[in-house]
Chains A and B, each alone.
Chain A
Amino acid sequence: MSLTGTADVEPARHRPAPAPGGWLGWLTTTDHKRIGLLTLGTSLLVMLGMGVLALLMRGQLAQPEEHLVGPQVYNQLFTMHGSGMIYLVMTPFALGLGVYLVPLQVGAPVIAMPRATLLGYWLYVLGAAIMLSGFATPQGAHSDGWFSYPPMAARTYTPGVGSDLWIAGVFLATTGVILMAWAVLWTALRKRAEGMTMLRMPVFSWSMAATCLMVIGAFPALLAALALLAAGRVEPAVFDSNLWVIGYQHLFWFYGHPVVYVMFFPYLGAVAEVLAVFSGRRFFGYRGTVFALLVFAALSMSVWGHHMFTTGQATNDYYSLTSILLLVPAGVEYFAMLGTILGGRLVFRTPMLFALAFVPQFLIGGLTGIMVGTPVLDYHAQDSYFVVAHLHYVLFAGSAFGLFAGFYLWFPKATGVLLDERLGRWHFWLLVVGTNLTFFPMFFLGYAGMPRRVVTYLDGDGFGLLNLLSSCGAAVLAAGMTVFVVNLARAALRRAPRAGDDPWRGHTLEWATSSPPPRLNFDAAHPLPPLTSEAPLLDLRRRAADEARGAREGRGAREGRA
């Protein structure tokens, strides 16, 4: 790889050569902000596509014995929706946020390993294209769910090249994500500006550090699982042995549970930043939250077997214990969020609305997770719509709301333009109504026995009304996302109103630079402020206010004496 000059203290002395302009400049960029924006933009595009798949599924389930799509197509829809949202949307978006923001937040001019980061992005794009191209093959896309257990996913039961493309695509995309995670982690560990100690990193950067530790620890297991699945599709006898069938499940879930936290921590970090900024105060319990994030992340590596309770081949007691222990660090984080809000001067702008909704909605997802982390309840809820409701409360009502909180917060920093507040509020309320209307009835459907991944149900099953409500909710969600797209298009076309460098009175270093930031993040016009804590801009403002007050009092005293 071609690399670099090294600059001694002053990066400005070795400015990067002018990048090629236009699209080529973007495609070959080594600027972490551009790579981050490419990743975020690609993830959002895929998210819209996955939303269309979800609408098709909800259309099919809106009424009993509906025939909008057939069983084979339905299997492809739920597989590609789940796979796409996890492998191609929520995980890459989380890493994309880190690629964009962590160097800015730790005061670094560049990301570590910029070319590896760019390679990570391209592997992700190619992986997405290969995975989704399965729809264009004669037997269609992969159709065995996002975890694709063998022997169901073996060639005997799932012939067709769509499954092979799925394996190849997920392998590439995951490799790309691992590369990005290494770069973000290395930046946080080794590229911090002088004075930016580990315990002065913002909560978001800490959440990314914990996320990246999970990625490098757990994601290689997915690559191993995919290699095993590929081997089994070439040589079906592999899956005659229980060792490899159950071994696949262990490998998959060793990745499959931490990935839930990879899709959660960065959004939790974004929510933490939003709550602090829009409460006008420092994040409450900073050190406790950092410690809780690291313990939470470590515990999340040890709970994977709770997905295998019903196999009878996992040590249920241990996995149940560690799953329930997750409540402790999660509780610390929740109290920290609530402590930040309490007593704050709350400003209810769009990012804050999304962050506030995240708090109770994710709680529902988390607590129902503890329920299914308990074997006796899991035996009842396994493979039912209860699990679908739980995971959507975690990943959509929770993580996606955190995603949008962060999106509305940092969009002005990345583009220099504010999103429309009125449309943002429409987006928010439609999403709140749509999310709860879509996913809350699923708890009752699951509890009543509706299995997940069924193409239809009978009138006499009694699932009709709740499914209809859920499908109506999906339509509201679609309306909300349409408003979001309109808001983005409007901002792109009008390029107004201009945001300025710090439209929200932010606390962290990215708000000290211009919007959008210069190539090396900070320059003579926007130098790094003194790095005094995890909220250096808040410190700066308070110091300035104290000095102004002192000057006023001094002047008053002098005038009194005179």
Chain B
Amino acid sequence: MTRHPGFLLVAGWALLNGLLLAVLAIYGESATALACYGIAVGLLALAALAVLASSVRGPREHTRYRLPVRPGSAVLPLAAAAGLAVLAYPYGWWLLPIAAALLGLSLALAAHDRAARPRRSR
């Protein structure tokens, strides 16, 4: 396990929160509050598992950096799509098709960039 210090950090921190949650339950807090904290501890446990999975799969990630070779042109339409999607809440659902079109544009740009990327060297 000492080969996975990142996992230990996140899992330990989740565990500490789990202990605090247990003490809160002993104090008799409402189910709403316990659920709130419990879900957060669950999220942290999932984060710890994600770190562990990454660590097991690629223990030497620090010597194999994934370098972005092209600018993030797909990001701008993706952000705009997200912006329009949340604006559908105050201004109506008619904005969603426009957001979907922007999402499509973003995916197309991403696919174009992916096709242009260099072969992986391992």
Q: A residues within 8 Å of B by Cβ? A: 1-9, 11, 13-17, 19-20, 25, 27-30, 108-110, 114-115, 118-119, 122-123, 125-126, 130, 161, 164-165, 167-169, 171-172, 175, 186, 189-194, 196-198, 209, 213, 216-218, 220-221, 230, 243, 246-247, 250-251, 254, 294-295, 297-299, 301-302, 305, 313-315, 317-318, 322, 520
Contacts and interface: CB of A to CB of B under 8 A. Distances in A.
Given A167-B89, A192-B62, A294 B13 contact: yes
Contacts of B71: 17, 19-20, 25, 28-30
Contacts of B27: 315, 317-318
Contacts of B9: 189, 198, 209, 294
Contacts of B36: 221, 250-251, 254
Given A30-B71, A123-B82, A167-B89, A2 B20 contact: no
Given A122-B75, A213-B44, A250-B36, 6 more contacts: A4-B69, A4-B117, A28-B73, A114-B68, A216-B44, A217-B17
Given A122-B79, A315-B27, A16 B72 contact: no
A17 B120 CA distance: 15
Contact of A217 (B43, B66, B70): B43
Chain A interface helix/strand/loop/mixed: helix
B122 A302 contact: no
Contact of B68 (A13, A16, A217): A16
Contacts of B44: 213, 216-217
Nearest to A134: B90
A88 to B, nearest CB: 15
A2 B69 CA distance: 9
A141 to B, nearest CB: 13
A293 B13 CA distance: 11
B24 A11 contact: no
B53 to A, nearest CB: 11
B30 A313 contact: yes
Given A14-B118, A221-B40, A254-B37, A123 B51 contact: no
Contacts of A318: 23-24, 27, 29
Contacts of B98: none
A242 B76 CA distance: 41
B90 to A, nearest CB: 3
B83 A4 contact: no
Contact of B40 (A28, A197, A218, A294): A218
Nearest to B120: A6
A217 B16 CA distance: 13
Nearest to B44: A217
16 contacts: A4-B68, A7-B67, A8-B64, A9-B63, A14-B121, A16-B70, A118-B75, A126-B80, A168-B90, A194-B62, A216-B44, A220-B39, A246-B32, A294-B16, A314-B33, A318-B23
Contacts of A110: 65-68
B5 interface: yes
Contact of A250 (B33, B66, B91): B33
A161 B12 CA distance: 44
Contacts of A171: 86
B31 to A, nearest CB: 10
A115 B75 contact: yes
Given A28-B73, A250-B36, A305-B33, A11 B65 contact: yes
Contact of A122 (B32, B62, B69, B76): B76
Contacts of A213: 10, 13, 44
A16 B83 contact: no
Contacts of A191: 61-62, 65
Nearest to A125: B79
Contacts of B13: 213, 294, 297-298
Give the top 6 A-B pairs by smallest Cβ distance, nearest first: A2-B113, A189-B6, A122-B79, A164-B90, A30-B68, A28-B71
B84 to A, nearest CB: 9
Contacts of A186: 51
Interface in B1-56: 5-6, 9-10, 12-13, 16-17, 20-21, 23-24, 27-30, 32-33, 36-37, 39-41, 43-44, 47, 51, 54-55
